[in-house]
Structure 1
Amino acid sequence: MPSYKIITSYLEHVKSAYSLDVTIKDYSGFIYTSEDLERVIRPYLAHCSPYCMCIKETERGYQRCLAQNKPLYQKCKQRKPFFGYCPAGLCELVVPIASKTKVYGSINVSHFALEEGKGDFLRERLLKREPESRKIAARLLYQQFVRPVSMDINELQYSLALLAEFIVEIVRNANEAQQQKNPELSDESRIRAYIAEHTDDKILAQQVMSACNISRLSLKSCIENANVKNFREYVNGIRLEQSEKLLLETDKTPKEIAVSLGFKDYQHFCRLFLEKVKITPSDYQKYYKHENRPGQN
């Protein structure tokens, strides 16, 4: 647990020393690698400043906020820190949490202004249809919590990149420790683990055989045992099983889960899910999230 506390200590330092809001985005479910990691990171999974909460109280603001996850994830694939503005006018420094093969998430630091007037323009555009009282409240909170840059951005970016590398190392070590507990994994278990670790890639059969050290015959046997026609259906089947778990055990929306598991688009995910489970992902989450899984008493 001590190594995990380093994450909390530094994030709290950033918040208090620079009066910034810090959020960690999870695009892959990496926080569930270990209970200690989840306990440390969960408090940072959403913006919770008074200004953000004011914006999210509106349906339009809440939906626009959620819609940012997919483009953020796509841009994080470049594996370089970047700046951007959210629809509510907040400038964010985004630092990817990523290895060479997988984007796990990102560290997002916000509540500073880089371009004068841009944040005000975006905020007013987002709240255009809201009552004047809501606009006034948002303006006052924006003025209170959003400040000009008062720190060395390059230094902040560098230190957050080091923190992101540290988190990747923690996830990698936790995964290796889990594998050491089960050294005699079957071919199918190794394949499943590899697919789970490479959700942002278009996985090829040759990649799996090489990474998992299995023969073409062994892979063919796994596909046949799963009662599917080909390798692509086999991969989709494993990812659909993962999606069922995430729908019930996380607060992610079906769209966010589809993106995090590497489905090419949300409609494709819904069609495959409906074929397999005989219910849409949204209804599955709605009906079973706080109940037993289907088929259980």
Structure 2
Amino acid sequence: MNCHYQKIANYLAFAEKEYNISICIKDYSGFIPVNRELDEALQPFLTHANAFCMYIKSDRHIYHKCLTMIRKMNNRFRKDRCTFFGMCHAGLCEYVTPIINGDFIIGTINIGFFGGYDALALNRIHHVCAQSELLSEEEAVRLYRKSFTPPTISPEVLIPTMELIAEYLSMTYDTIKDTHDASMRRRSSNEDTILSHASEYIRQNFTEQIRVSELAGFCHCSESHISHIFRKRFHVNINSYINKVRVEASKDFLVGSQTSIADIALSVGFCDPNYYSRVFTQLMGIPPTEYRRRFRKQGVQD
């Protein structure tokens, strides 16, 4: 993978953890998937992954309303190309930094979640839930309280850094725009949203048995459509992608605990430890027992 892309991803992950913030990159023009390495590096940051947002967007109507916010932000940046602060229709506050290339707004970096407007946020949550037969206002408020924790960095310090990253992404676009059919990508941009939401759903639920029908239902699309997107973008089927996520999660248990291989397999969602070992070996090139032997952390005893 391009080391520069990975460094950007590493910094974003560091900032989220260190400063207690959420970072989401909105790709208006669909340029990120054009470069596979860039797509893989930024994949964890292409959707609002907090529990509150995931719950709100489980309603199809609200999900599509969230998508319309992209158009509203795009219209705003046509008038003012500076970072701004705002609250979404569901009550979450964030700073939005435009990614600008020439005369075009190709995306944004959304940085949240900031407080100070609790009464207004609760009013918007009430309004959103009142429009839905699926959403419980009580559960939405609970998840809102759980998702919102004050950042440990001031916007004055954070925003210049995000603006530099936005500039870097704009320069990256310069290297690929000659081969980027923006009109085609705009017509299929919903694929990006489906993929990012599906990936996050898998990340949050990989320890359970995930059915393709459940995943498609969460993303408000057909099973055939979501399967096509995974093959197109990740070059694997959905079950293979889920297994990869499970194997990645199991590596920490292998090197950092004394838990048996069989118990680790079960804990990350594999029903059959032997199947887990075969999948692990296919993906990593060595069996889990050998991986544990090579990379076991100091202080962990057999």
TM-score, scaled relative to structure 2: 0.58
1:58: which partner in 2?
59
Tell me which amino acid in the other structure corresponds to 1:158: P
Indicate the SS of the match to 1:7: helix
User: Do 1:90 and 1:119's aligned partners in 2 also have CA atoms closer than 8 Å?
Assistant: yes
Q: Which of residues 163, 166, 178 in structure 2 aligns to 1:164?
A: 166
CA contact (8 A) 2:99 2:105 kept: yes
Instruction: Tell me which amino acid in the other structure corresponds to 1:13.
Output: F
Deviation at 1:58, TM superposition (A): 2.1
1:247 partnered with 2:188: yes
The CA distance in 1 between the partners of 2:125 and 2:190, in whole Å, is 34
Take 1:161 and 1:19, find their aligned partners in 2: how far apart are those partners?
Answer: 19
- Which string of whole-angstrom CA distances, capped at 9 and with x for unpartnered residues, describes residues 153-187 of structure 1? 111111100110111112213457x7xxxxxxxxx
Name structure 2 gaps, 5 residues minimum: 195-223, 230-302
> 1 CA distance for matches of 2:167 and 2:93?
23
Q: Which of the residues 76, 80, 83 maps onto 2:82?
A: 80
- Structure 1 residues 249, 146: closer, same or farther in 2, change over 3 A? closer
Q: How does 1:97-116 map to 2 (within 5 A)?
A: 97-116=99-118
Question: Which of 150, 153, 156 is 1:154 aligned to?
Answer: 156
> For 2:91, what is the secondary structure of its paired residue?
coil
SS at match of 2:61: helix
Residue range with higher mean Cα deviation, 158-167 or 17-26: 17-26
The separation in 1 between residues aligned to 2:189 and 2:99, in whole angstroms, is 25
1:128 alignment partner AA: A
Q: Which runs of 5+ in 1 are unaligned?
A: 179-192, 200-238, 254-285, 292-297
Counterpart check, 1:43 vs 2:24: no
| Distance of 1:170 and 1:82 partners within structure 2 | 23
The structure whose RCO (Cα within 8 Å, separation 6+) is larger is 2
TM-score scaled by length of structure 1: 0.59
| Segment of structure 1 superposing worse, 63-72 or 155-164 | 63-72
Aligned twin of 2:98: 96
**Cα distance in 2, alignment partners of residues 155 and 13 from structure 1:** 15
For residues 172-229 of structure 1, the C-alpha deviation after alignment (integer angstroms, 9 at most, x for no partner) is: 13457x7xxxxxxxxxxxxxx7xx5xx6xxxxxxxxxxxxxxxxxxxxxxxxxxxxxx
Report the CA distance between 1:61 and its aligned residue: 2.4
Q: Whole-Å Cα distance in 2 between the matches of residues 109 and 64 of structure 1?
A: 20
- Matched residue of 1:23: which SS? strand
Q: Which deviates further from its counterpart, 127-136 or 158-167?
A: 127-136
Q: How many residues align?
A: 198
Partners in 2 of 1:246 and 1:290 — Cα distance? 16
CA displacement, residues 17-67 of structure 1 (integer Å, 9 cap, x when unaligned): 122221111111110332111111222221111111111122332122122
1:213-292 equivalence runs, <5 A: 239=183, 242=184, 246-247=187-188, 250-251=191-192, 290=228
- Which amino acid in 1 is paired with 2:65? R
Which residue matches 2:30? 29
Farther off after superposition, 162-171 or 145-154: 145-154
CA distance in 2, matches of 1:62, 1:153: 28
Code of the residue aligned with 1:69 in structure 2: it is: I
